[in-house]
Amino acid sequence: MKKITELIKEKRIYFDGGTGTVLQSMGLPAGQSPELWNITSPEKIISLHNMYFDAGANIVKTNTFGINRVKFENYRELIGAGIKCAKKAAEGREDAYVAFDMGPTGQLLEPLGQLKFEEAVSIFADNVKAAVSVGVDLILIETMNDSYETKAAVLAAKENSDLPVFVTNVYDAAGKLMTGADPEAMITMLEGLRVDALGINCSLGPDVMLPIVKRLKDYSSIPIIVNPNAGLPEVKDGKTIYNVGKEEFSDYMVKIAEGGGTILGGCCGTTPEYIKMTVEKTKSLPYSLPEKKNYTCVSSYTHAVFIDKQPILIGERINPTGKSKLKAALRNDDLNYILNEGIKQTDAGVHILDVNVGLPEIDEAAMLVKCVSALQGVTDLPLQLDSTNFDAMEKAMRIYNGKPLVNSVNGTEESMGKVFPLVQKYGGGIIALTIDESGIPDTAQGRVAVAEKIIERAAKYGIDKKEIIVDPLALTVSSNPESAMITIESVKKIRELGVKTSLGISNISFGLPQREIITSTFYANALQSGLNCAIMNPFSQAMMQVYYAFRALYMLDSGCADYITFASAESTAVTNNAVVQEQTLHSSIVKGLKESAVTLTAELLKTTAPLDIINGHIIPALNEIGTAFEQKKAYLPQLLMSADAASAAFEEVKKQIPTEQSDSSKAIVLATVKGDIHDIGKNIVKVLMESYGFTVYDLGRDVAPETIVNCAVEHSCKLVGLSALMTTTVPSMAETIKLLNKTDPSVKVMVGGAVLNQEYADMIGADFYGADAMDSVRYAEKFYKG
Amino acid sequence: MNYTDVRIISAKSDEIEINRRELALRLKTDMDFADKALSECSQKLMDVITYRCAYIRTDISINENNICDLGFAKIKSVNLAKNLNGCSEAFIIAATAGIGVDRLLSKLKIISQAQYYMTDAIASAAIESFMDHASDKLSVGLNCAPRFSPGYGDLPLSLQTPLLERLNAQSLLGITLDSSLLMTPMKSITAIMGIKK
C-alpha cells in the first residue's frame, strides 16, 4: 500500500466521521468513556470502523482520543486494543489507513496553566510509543484548542516515530483557538514543525467553517483537513440532534472542497451516512494540492507576523550589551525587569522582540528558557531568539510557543552546521549574518556571496530561502567611513536574490554624539533601499518618526491613519508635560500620578540630594496617603496608585544613589505560603514596602517553608512576611513559622491575609498580625528603627 | 466529548452591566468610588473579556442523609441539600470570562500593582454579573433557588472535576483544573441552581 502522503498527491481522500454519536446508538451510555470499549466490546469498535470504510472513508481514527497516562493507568493496553480494532477493519481493503488519534490532555500548559511543556511532550510521547509498538499508518493530533499543547504533541510524534503527522485544531466562529491563535499562526508554526497536513475539526458546522477554510487555503502550503461537526446540537423531544443534516452537510462539503479543503471528513454528530454522501458529491470534483506559498513569517501563540512590504520593527532592548541595569537584573534573576522591558516595547509598537540574555557569569540556556517562557506570558509578540550559544538556542526554540525568529546563523561551517538542524526540527525564520571564516567582506559583492552560500547550504537541510532574512551588517561609521554605503548597497543587492533583509540599525552611530540623528537618517535610507526588518530601539522618538513617516510616504499606511495617531500622541505628551508642571512630587504621589512623579523626581534630582528626596518628599507623601487610608478617607486603589507612583519615583532616585549608600539594611522576605496561590495581598504589601524603600525578597506564591528559611538565611534578613488566603493553608503558615524559629530565633515573622486575625496569628506563633498593608509597613518601619 | 446536551450562552462585553455593589465590594471602596485610572482599567479589560457559559438542565434528588444526586455525581452536603430543598431539577452551570483576562492580569502584575488590583476586582465583578445575566435568562418563568457553588459551605471543591467534565467545559469553555482544583481561566465560576417544583 502507498504511503498516505503519496496517495494525497493523487486524489482526494476522506476521514471518517463522529465516534460518540455512532457508539451511543450502539448503547454506549452518555458520560462513559468510549475508549473502554476497545477492550470490553472490540466487535462494536470494529463495526464502527467498518461502517466508515464502507461509506468511502480512507482513514479511520482509532478510538483513542481521550487516552493518556494521566487519565488511564492501562493506557498502553487501551491504545493497543483500539489500534487492533481499526487494523482489523482495514484488513484486505484498498486505500484504507489507520490514524492513531491523540486528543488534548485536558490540562493547560504553563505559563497560564500548571502543566509543564516537557511533561506534556512526555505524556504524548508515551502514547506515540504505545501506538508505534502496535503499528499505524499515521498520527492524527486533533481537537487541539491550544497552540502550545499542539506543539508538544507534534514534537512527541516526530521524536518517537517516522510516521506522517496530521494536525487539526478547534477554531471558534471568529477563527481563533481557545487560547488565541488564528489560522495563520497555526499554519506558520505547524509548517515550521514540518507536519504533513493541517486543518480544522469539531466545534463548528461546515457552514461556519468556510471562511476559516479560505484562510487555510490562502496561507497553507500543505494539504488541508476539514472535519466539521454536523452543526450545533439541539434538543428536540428530549433527544439531542445536530442541526445540519447529511444532505445539507454534504452540500457544504462541496463548497469546502471547492474552497480549498483537501482531505474531508466529519466530527461530532456526523455518521457514516454523512461521509458517504460527502464522498459521493465531492469525489469527482477537480482536485489539487494547495499551492506552495512564498511568505516569510514568524509567529507567536496568537498571530503570525509577515515580513513583506511593511517595515518590521524588532525591539532591541532585551540585550545586556551596554545596559548595566539589565546586566544586574540578569545576575539577580530579576525577571520582572526583563518582562517590563518586553511590555514597554510591545506598547511602543514593535512587531517582534529580540531576546538576548547572554552574560558570561550566568547559565545562558536556563535564563533564555526562563525569559522566553515568562515573556510569552505577558506579550503576544513573536520573539527573536538571540544567542551564540547553540545549547541555549535549541532549548529556547524547543519551548517557544510558535515559530521564532532565530538570531542568528552566519556563513561559517560551525554556525550553519549547528543552526540549520535546529531550524529543520523546530521551524524558524533565520537572521543570516554576512560573515564567515574570513570575516566580514568589505564590499557589497563579498557580502552577497556569503548570503548566497548560506542560502545554498540551508537548501540542503530542506530550508527554503523564504526563511532566510539576510543581515548584511551595519558597522559603525565613525571607524569605517564607507560602512553605511556598503551596507545600503548590500541591502539592495541581497533583495535581488529574492530574500528579505534585516539590520541592527543602532550600531551605525556608535561612538558619535547625538547618535539618534545618524541612526534615524541611516534607517530612513535603508528603508528606502528596501530594508525589511530593523533591530532598533522603539523608545527612540527619532526612529519611530522615521518609521511612521516612511509608511505614510510609501503608501504603506492607508489614509496616513497610523501616522496621524502617532503624531497626535506626540502632541498630547507635550500637553501632559504642561499638566505635570502644575503638580509637585508630593501631590503627584498623593494623587497616584506615576508619569508626573517620575518627571518631577528627575527634575528635583538636579537640585536636591537623592536621600533628601526620599525623606523629604516621597516618604511624607506616602505617609499622608497612608494616614488617609487608615482614617478611611482614601481607598485601597488610591493607596496602590500612590505606591506605584512612589515606587517609580524611588527607582528614579535610586539611579543616582551609589550602591554602597543605598539602605539595604531595610529588607524583608515576602511569600505566600505553600499550597496557596492567592498572592494579591502579598503583592500589595510588596509594592508598599518597596515604595517605602525596603529591599523586598519576593518568593512568590505556593512557597515551601524551606525556601523561605533559606532565603532569610542567605540574605541575613531578620524580617519575614507571610500571607495566606485560604483556611486550608494556615497550617502551612504555622509550619513555616516553626521552621523559621528553629533556624534563627531572632527572625520576626509578620502574617496577614483574608483568613487571619490576631487570635489565629497568636495561635500559630506569629510576631505580628497586619490587618492591612499599611499596618504591615508601620510594623516593618518600627522593626528597623528599633 | 460524550455529552451532546450542553448548551451555551455567550455575551459581548458591552451587553453585561457590571454590578456596582459587587465591584465596590471587591475594590473595598464605596459604591460611588470613581477614578480615571479605574475606567482606564475597565476599558482595557473590556477589550479582552469574552463571556461564555455552558449549562445543562438535569433531574436531581436529595435523600434524608443529605446526599444530593445531581445525575453526574452523588455528593453529601448539608448546605447544598438545604439550598436545593423543594427542587427536583437544577441547572448546572459553568461560566468564564476567558483566558484573555488571565493574560492581561499577568501583564499588569508586572507593570502596576494598582492597575492589577483594580482590573482583578473589575474582572471578578464582571464574571459575577455575567453569571447573574445567564441565570436570569435561564430562570425566566421558573422559580429558582439561589445559585450554589462548590467551595460554599460544606460543598467540596472536589465536585469541580465531575461538574466540569459533565459540561464539556474544557472543550466548550477552555476551563481546566489545576492540582489544587482551581480553575483556569481564573475568572470562571461554576454553580448549581435548583428549580423549585
Q: Name the CATH topology of A663-785.
A: Rossmann fold (3.40.50)
Are A198 and A220 in contact, with CB atoms under 8 Å apart? yes
A65/B176 CB distance under 8 A: no
Q: In which band, very low, low, confident or very high, does the pLDDT at A99 lie, cut at 50, 70 and 90?
A: very high
Pick among A22, A63, A178, A672 to test the B interface (most B CBs inside 10 A) = A178
Q: How close is the nearest chain B Cα to the Cα of A414, in Å?
A: 39
A233/B5 CB distance under 8 A: yes
The DSSP call for residue B195 is E
Give contacts of B72 with chain A, Cβ < 8 Å: 31
Range(s) for CATH 3.20.20.330 in chain A?
4-282
> Average pLDDT, stretch A80-107?
96
Give contacts of A728 with chain B, Cβ < 8 Å: none
Q: Which residues pair with B96 in a beta bridge?
A: B52, B188
Could you tell me where the DSSP H helices lie in A220-357?
246-258, 272-282, 324-331, 335-348
B33/A336 CB distance under 8 A: no
How far apart, in whole angstroms, are the C-alpha atoms of residue A780 and residue A324?
31
User: Residue A683 region, left (φ>0) first, then alpha (ψ -120 to 50), else beta?
Assistant: alpha
B113/A683 CB distance under 8 A: yes
B113/A643 CB distance under 8 A: yes
A20/B1 CB distance under 8 A: yes
CB of B52 within 8 Å of a chain A CB? The answer is: no
pLDDT at A660 over 50: no
B171/A202 CB distance under 8 A: yes
Pick the most confident of A132-141, A561-570, A777-786.
Answer: A132-141
Q: Which residues pair with A668 in a beta bridge?
A: A696
Domains identified in chain B and CATH numbers = 7-196 (3.40.109.40)
Range(s) for CATH 3.20.20.20 in chain A?
308-539
pLDDT at A625 over 50: yes
pLDDT at A470 over 90: yes
pLDDT for res A576: 63
How far apart, in whole angstroms, are the C-alpha atoms of residue A115 and residue B102?
16
ipTM above 0.85, yes or no: yes
Pick among B30, B35, B89, B112 to test the A interface (most A CBs inside 10 A) = B112
How many residues would you count in chain B?
Answer: 197
Are A129 and A97 in contact, with CB atoms under 8 Å apart? no
pLDDT at A751 over 90: yes
Cell numbers describing residue A403: 515559530
Q: Which of A80, A245, A227, A88 minimizes the C-alpha distance to A167? A: A227
Q: How many CA atoms lie within 13 A of A345 on its CB side?
A: 30
Smallest Cβ–Cβ distance between A637 and the set B29, B72, B103 belongs to B29
Pick the most confident of A25-34, A250-259, B104-113.
Answer: A250-259
pLDDT digits (tens, 9 = 90+) for B134-157: 999 999 999 999 999 999 999 999
The pTM assigned to this predicted structure is 0.88
Q: How close is the nearest chain A Cα to the Cα of B99, in Å?
A: 6
A112/B112 CB distance under 8 A: no
A377/B100 CB distance under 8 A: no
Task: Report the number of secondary-structure helices (H) and strands (E) in chain A.
Answer: 31, 25
B37/A686 CB distance under 8 A: no
Whether the CA torsion A29, A35, A36, A38 is positive or negative: it is positive
Q: How close is the nearest chain B Cα to the Cα of A165, in Å?
A: 22
How far apart, in whole angstroms, are the C-alpha atoms of residue A149 and residue A70?
15
Pick among A71, A170, A595, A641 to test the B interface (most B CBs inside 10 A) = A641
A677/B182 CB distance under 8 A: yes
pLDDT for res A657: 65
Are B193 and B135 in contact, with CB atoms under 8 Å apart? yes
pLDDT for res B148: 96
Pick among B30, B47, B105, B110 to test the A interface (most A CBs inside 10 A) = B110
Smallest Cβ–Cβ distance between A31 and the set B2, B29, B115 belongs to B2
Give contacts of A637 with chain B, Cβ < 8 Å: 27, 29, 33, 35, 37-38, 114, 117-118
More confident residue, A336 or B58: B58
Q: Which of A706, A713, A780 minimizes the C-alpha distance to A749? A: A780
Q: Name the CATH topology of A583-654.
A: 1.10.1240
Q: Which of B32, B21, B53, B30 minimizes the C-alpha distance to B127? A: B53
Give contacts of B4 with chain A, Cβ < 8 Å: 20-21, 30, 233, 240, 242, 268-269
The lowest-confidence range among A68-82, A545-559, A653-667, A701-715 is: A653-667
pLDDT for res A333: 82
What are the φ/ψ torsions at residue A734 (nearest 5 degrees)? -60, -40
pLDDT at A521 over 70: yes
CB of B21 within 8 Å of a chain A CB? The answer is: no
A343/B110 CB distance under 8 A: yes
Burial of A282 (0-12, 13-18, 19+ CB in 10 A): buried
Superfamily for A308-539? Answer: Dihydropteroate synthase-like (3.20.20.20)
The DSSP call for residue A512 is S
> Average pLDDT, stretch A385-404?
97
pLDDT at A339 over 80: yes
The lowest-confidence range among A37-46, A133-142, A671-680 is: A671-680
How far apart, in whole angstroms, are the C-alpha atoms of residue B158 and residue B179?
11
Q: In which band, very low, low, confident or very high, does the pLDDT at A527 lie, cut at 50, 70 and 90?
A: very high
pLDDT at A614 over 60: yes
pLDDT for res B1: 47
Q: Name the CATH topology of A4-282.
A: TIM Barrel (3.20.20)
Q: How close is the nearest chain A Cα to the Cα of B45, in Å?
A: 15
Q: How close is the nearest chain B Cα to the Cα of A459, in Å?
A: 39
What are the φ/ψ torsions at residue A345 (nearest 5 degrees)? -70, -35
B171/A635 CB distance under 8 A: no
Mean pLDDT in chain A? 92
Give residue A142's identity as a one-letter amino acid code: E
Q: How close is the nearest chain A Cα to the Cα of B57, in Å?
A: 11
Pick among A37, A71, A108, A701 to test the B interface (most B CBs inside 10 A) = A108
CB of B65 within 8 Å of a chain A CB? The answer is: no
The SS3 call for residue A184 is helix
CB of B37 within 8 Å of a chain A CB? The answer is: yes
Pick among B6, B35, B107, B187 to test the A interface (most A CBs inside 10 A) = B107
Give contacts of B35 with chain A, Cβ < 8 Å: 637-638, 641
> Average pLDDT, stretch A180-191?
97
Query: Per DSSP, which regions of A260-311 are E strands?
Result: 263-264, 297-299, 304-306
Mean pLDDT in chain B? 93
Range(s) for CATH 3.40.50.280 in chain A?
663-785
Cis bond before residue B185 (omega within 30° of 0)? yes
